[in-house]
Amino acid sequence: MSECIFCMIANGDIPAKVVLDEGDILAFDDIAPQGPIHTLIIPKHHYSDMGDAVPAEMMATIFSAVPRIAAMKGIAESGYRVIVNNGRDAAQTVGHLHVHVIGGNPMAHGMVHFVDVD
């Protein structure tokens, strides 16, 4: 997917602050961090979201990297939130599967804020 920004990052066509480059996955810092630590983990292969026939092994590879990323970022003990925005209603803005790892400060309880719907 030549027009996909995360494919471009995976291919090295645009820069990113890479945290982990390991086999089929890449982790890099979010360009607009929503906390002191905000890292994204992506598969290098393009999958639009979790429903895009992602092999179970790939899911396992991505999610098993989460605690290691947290340790590398120094938030393993303090805690962190792991988020996948999947599809339109979840406000996914980049159509390449990615997992957010966010931490570094205490967060408010709860995680879902629906927009007003009448």
Q: Which residues bind ligand AMP (CB under 6 A)?
A: 5, 16, 30-32, 40, 85, 91-94
The nearer residue to ligand AMP, 2 or 93, going by C-beta atoms, is 93
- Selected catalytic residue, list 98, 100, 109, 113: 98
Taking CB atoms, the residue at the shortest distance from ligand AMP is 85
**3 state DSSP class of 80:** strand
Q: Please enumerate in sequence order all residues whose Cβ is within 8 A of that of 1, keeping only pairs 6 or more positions apart, or say none.
A: 7, 46, 96
The nearer residue to ligand AMP, 31 or 60, going by C-beta atoms, is 31
**3 state DSSP class of 69:** helix
Find where tokens 């360009």 sit: 31
98 given a catalytic annotation:
yes
Q: Find the farthest-apart pair of alpha carbons in the chain and give their distance in angstroms, rounded.
A: 46
Instruction: Give the nearest distance from C-beta 34 to ligand AMP in angstroms.
Output: 7
Catalytic residues: 98
